[in-house]
Amino acid sequence: MVMKSQTVSVIIPTLNAGPRLAQCLDALVTSAIDGVVKEVVVVDGGSTDDTTTIADGFGARIVNAPAGRGGQLSYGADNARGDWLLFLHGDTVLETGWAKEVQQFIDADAYDAGVFTLAFDTDGIAAKVVATGAMLRTRLTKSPYGDQGLLISRKAYDEVGGFRDMPLFEDVDLVRRLLRKSASMTFHIFRSKAVTSAERYERDGYVRRVFKNLILFTRYQMGAPPEKLVRDYR
pLDDT digits (tens, 9 = 90+) for 189-201: 999 999 999 999 9
Is residue 91 within 8 A of residue 197, CB to CB? The reply is: yes
Whole-number CA gyration radius for the chain: 17
| pLDDT of 181 | 79
CATH number for 8-200: choose from 3.40.50.2300, 3.90.550.10, 1.10.3720.10, 3.40.50.620.
3.90.550.10
More confident residue, 112 or 102: 102
Phi (first) and psi of residue 37, to 5 degrees: -95, 125
Strand ranges, E, within 8-94: 8-14, 37-44, 61-64, 84-87, 92-94
**Does the pLDDT at position 33 exceed 70?**
no
The residues, any chain, with a CB within 8 Å of residue 5's CB and separated by 6 or more, are 35
The pLDDT, as a whole number, for residue 141 is 82
- Residue extents of the structural domains in the chain: 8-200
| Rounded Cα gap, residues 115 and 82, in angstroms | 18
Contact between 61 and 11 (Cβ < 8 Å): no
- Residue range 104-115: mean pLDDT, rounded: 86
pLDDT of residue 183: 64
Strand order in the sheet with 113-120: 61-64, 37-44, 8-14, 84-87, 150-153, 113-120, 188-196, 92-94
pTM of the model: 0.93
Residue 44: Cβ-neighbour burial (10 angstroms; 0-12, 13-18, 19+)? buried
